[in-house]
Structure 1
Amino acid sequence: MGHVRKLFILAMLVNFIFHLSAQEALTAKQIQQRSIDATRVDGTEAISTLTIINEKGEMRIRKMATVTKLYDNGSLEKKLVRFIAPADVEGTGFLTFDHADSDDEKWMYLPALRKTRRIVSSENAKSFMGSEFSYADMSIPTVEDFAYRLLTDEIVGGEPCWSIEITPNDEDIEDEYGFSKKISYISTHDFVLRKAVYFDRYGEEEKVMEVKAVREIDPQKHTYRMMEIEMTNVQDNRRSILTIDQIQFNPSIPDDYFTTRYLAR
């Protein structure tokens, strides 16, 4: 029995070393792609809270319902967000088609105007519903739009992370996303982003995004959702916190939900 136990421990050690070596061999770009894949869930339904805190500490709280679904073998994620409270934003809707290899498509429905408006790429860097999150933050950037460089590994919230410097490939992409550089901290354990630091067009630190909680949504595919994200603007001391209050795995969301017709209902 002692011999069998030693063989088992040796096999586990070899497997661990092989796994560790395979991860160490990954490039910064490959780590970024794995991070994106780790949060591509087949389908979800969720209720979330968006808390917007100004420089004086005053808060505005908004509730929203969100559904998501993957298409084309995971290369396309469709997402519908509908605000359900308070009354001044109730019925406002946001629809996005998040393409892995091409520009995303985004629409906003404004019930007061009874109008659906296409969000063009030049608006991506603008604030989403008055928060510190931008329209670009509501979807995943196209990997090929950026250059990647591995920096020194760091511990973030007790989690060992790769740190990756991400820079736009040209000025048009920089203008679209609203940052000249981003440092992302991605867990070496589950590939989920734990923190990101954004630098403005002048190279100054502007915003810090911290992921406070992560949950595995699909245990079979090991895909995750960030359950609480805090975005802080270090230049004007404004903060926004996005918290998922309830979520369930549902890959059978009706396709009709992800249309501009349904968005305007």
Structure 2
Amino acid sequence: MIFKKLLIPLVIICSSAASGFAQDAQKGQQIAQRAEAAGNGYGDFAVQGDMTLRTAGGATSKRRFAAKNLELNGGRATRYMMVFDWPGDIRGTALLTHSFDTKQDSQWLYLPAASRVKKISGSGRSGSFVGSEFSYEDMVEQDASSYRHVWLRDEACPNGAGTCHLLQRTPVYKSGYSQQAVWIDTNALRYQLIQYYNRQGQLNKTLTMKNYKKYKGRFWRPSQMTMVNHLTGKSTTLNWKNYQFNIGLQPNQLTREAMTRAQ
């Protein structure tokens, strides 16, 4: 019968496609894991920075902050705290993030005007962080285990930084995004650009990372990160400077209680 003659080729084609996808998924996950490993092992660091918010019309406003980051359990968990010190109306506002390899991250926001620590969870994670184009979700570590990755192809990096792996990644946990496209350079496994697609499948935002510098002879960090919101025309740029590594941070310095004393 004709049907029986067609059945075997169709099974072979389907099996081949499934096998190819599995291989691309494995390759994508391995690339993400290697990129994560390349940035691990720093111990702890402190850094200063500023945030520039731009409206669709081009008006700007600035904010200044300091941040601290601590690795725990051999890099399988981290604690990160960002505290704003200027201008006055935002001074003392702090964001604390506890990141984990095996479960969803936890975040808290401290608002000094209300003397209140607020846990960020559920739909709140997709909300705007202090009025910027970065959401709370965008402010967490890029843990490989928090996404399912699929390698799509290698191609020229979008910002001219050589050749990049292009990965499609899907959040494992509840997210404001349906998919993300990630470009990681093949040379040093540095994130160059991320496109974020919302739950409706629209290209919502693009994050560009550039001006990388190497610290301690090993750790690459971008000096500038710009998030553009394609739906509103707004953007936010984070500039980082004065990295200091191995400053002796302790876990009790990055807790909810410590947030209230971090002004």
CA gap 1:168/1:80 in 2 versus in 1, 3 angstroms:
closer
Match of 2:208 among 207, 210, 213: 210
- Deviation readout 1:63-109 (Å, 9 max, x if unpaired): 00101110101111111111000001000111111112211111111
Corresponding residue of 2:15: none
Distance in 1 (CA, whole Å) between partners of 2:141 and 2:30 is 15
Question: How far has the Cα of 1:34 moved from its partner?
Answer: 1.8
Match of 2:227 among 223, 226, 231: 231
**Alignment pair present for 1:186 and 2:193:** no
- Deviation readout 1:139-184 (Å, 9 max, x if unpaired): 1255344332211212222221100011235xxx4xx321111110
Distance in 2 (CA, whole Å) between partners of 1:163 and 1:95 is 31
Aligned-CA RMSD value: 1.9
Question: How far has the Cα of 1:224 moved from its partner?
Answer: 2.4
Distance in 1 (CA, whole Å) between partners of 2:176 and 2:142 is 12
Corresponding residue of 1:158: 161
Distance in 2 (CA, whole Å) between partners of 1:215 and 1:42 is 18
Q: Which runs of 5+ in 1 are unaligned?
A: 1-23
Q: How does 1:7-156 map to 2 (within 5 A)?
A: 27-40=27-40, 41-156=42-157
8 Å CA contact 2:82–2:95 kept in 1: the answer is: yes
Distance in 1 (CA, whole Å) between partners of 2:112 and 2:75 is 31
8 Å CA contact 1:132–1:239 kept in 2: the answer is: yes
**Alignment pair present for 1:168 and 2:171:** yes
Corresponding residue of 1:6: none
* Structure 1, 210-219 or 107-116: larger mean CA deviation: 210-219
Question: How far has the Cα of 1:198 moved from its partner?
Answer: 1.1
TM-score (norm 2): 0.83
SS at match of 2:62: strand
SS at match of 2:113: coil
Q: Which runs of 5+ in 2 are unaligned?
A: 1-23
8 Å CA contact 1:83–1:91 kept in 2: the answer is: yes
CA gap 1:215/1:121 in 2 versus in 1, 3 angstroms:
farther
Match of 1:201 among 177, 189, 199: 199
Would you say how many aligned residue pairs link Structure 1 and Structure 2? 235
Distance in 1 (CA, whole Å) between partners of 2:39 and 2:109 is 23
* Structure 1, 140-149 or 92-101: larger mean CA deviation: 140-149
Distance in 1 (CA, whole Å) between partners of 2:154 and 2:31 is 13
TM-score (norm 1): 0.83
Question: How far has the Cα of 1:129 moved from its partner?
Answer: 1.0
Aligned-residue sequence identity (percent) comes to: 26
Letter matched to residue 208 of structure 1: T
SS at match of 2:88: coil
Match of 2:257 among 253, 258, 261: 261
SS at match of 1:32: helix
Question: How far has the Cα of 1:203 moved from its partner?
Answer: 1.4
Letter matched to residue 177 of structure 2: F
Question: How far has the Cα of 1:242 moved from its partner?
Answer: 0.7
Q: Which runs of 4+ in 1 moved over 6 A?
A: none
Letter matched to residue 164 of structure 1: L
Match of 2:175 among 177, 180, 199: 177
Distance in 2 (CA, whole Å) between partners of 1:145 and 1:255 is 23
Question: How far has the Cα of 1:33 moved from its partner?
Answer: 1.6
